[in-house]
Amino acid sequence: MSDVLGYQGKRVIVSGCFSGMGEATARLLVSLGAEVHGFDSKESTVPMSTFTQIDLRDPATIEAAVAGVGGKVDALFNCAGLPGGGGFLPMDTMKVNFLGTRHLTEQIIPLMGSKGAIVSIASTGGLGWSRRIPIHMQLLATQGFQAGLEWAEANPDHVAEGYAFSKEAVIVWTQFMGARLIKEGIRINCSLPSPTQTPMMATFHATSGKDVVDAAAEPLGRYTTAQEQAGPLVLINSDLAGVVNGVVLPVDGGFMGGLATGQVDISRMMSAPKQQA
């Protein structure tokens, strides 16, 4: 197979490779000839080079997993995540979606050398990011997992149920780090999926209501698949996207464009959302 995306022999790490978008991403990368190292709290069946069990709520497990992979890392795919509510503690959601994801990324960056690519999955649930950039800058100013956790614990009103705030943090952090890491030749981007049929969807339906989630699936008129989300992640971390950096990429069948031009009825979403996919 021709290697137009340049993944043959590349060493890549995928968090969240057990299910959903992370699993689909890991499978696609294996099929493209990458040397894939998967991290998840649940054991994955994807035929990767290595799998390491980690808990993104526990920085020691992250550090041990990265040390186990060692060597040069070409690309990182931050796909692991937890929803908010539905039995998940806000601080666990905050740890997995932002603090642990940031910690993992900070462990990987020194292994990337002068070229590398990082992508994280954020969410349309984080679209409120621009309303509270100064708050997020306080969080970003914290150094390391523990300091970030202490900030989050001191700011429960902002963290709330955990999902929206953690996804906003991923979006602001991606843009902030994009302007810094590019000086070292490293790119960082994130995606904003519209509702996607994965195991997480059951919690979104239970916490936000199916109507609210369905409204975010317009104008496409259906939920996307994990594979449809994996493709753009693999593309944006590929050599073909060599100067795409600090970007918040909607992967939503036109939701954001429809919203911006008044063609998506957001009143259906305004009635509820503590959280939306």
Ligand X SMILES: NC(=O)c1ccc[n+]([C@@H]2O[C@H](COP(=O)([O-])OP(=O)(O)OC[C@H]3O[C@@H](n4cnc5c(N)ncnc54)[C@H](O)[C@@H]3O)[C@@H](O)[C@H]2O)c1
Nearest approach in angstroms of CB 200 to ligand X is 3
Give whichever of 6 and 258 is closer to ligand X, judged by the CB atom.
258
Give whichever of 105 and 198 is closer to ligand X, judged by the CB atom.
198
Nearest approach in angstroms of CB 244 to ligand X is 20
Rg (CA), the chain: 17
Nearest approach in angstroms of CB 82 to ligand X is 5
Sheet of 35-40, strands arranged across: 50-53, 35-40, 11-15, 75-78, 116-121, 186-193, 248-251
Give whichever of 42 and 131 is closer to ligand X, judged by the CB atom.
42
**Structure token digits, residue 136:** 């997020």
Give whichever of 141 and 266 is closer to ligand X, judged by the CB atom.
266
How far apart (Å, rounded) are the C-alpha atoms in residues 58 and 62?
7
Give whichever of 33 and 53 is closer to ligand X, judged by the CB atom.
53
Fill in the DSSP letter of residue 227: H
Length of the chain counted residue by residue: 277
How far apart (Å, rounded) are the C-alpha atoms in residues 224 and 165?
23
Nearest approach in angstroms of CB 127 to ligand X is 11
Nearest approach in angstroms of CB 140 to ligand X is 19
Q: Which amino acid is at 258?
A: G
**Structure token digits, residue 47:** 């035929």
Give the footprint of ligand X on this chain (CB under 6 A). 16, 18-22, 40-42, 54-57, 79-82, 96-97, 121, 123, 193, 195-196, 198-201, 226, 277
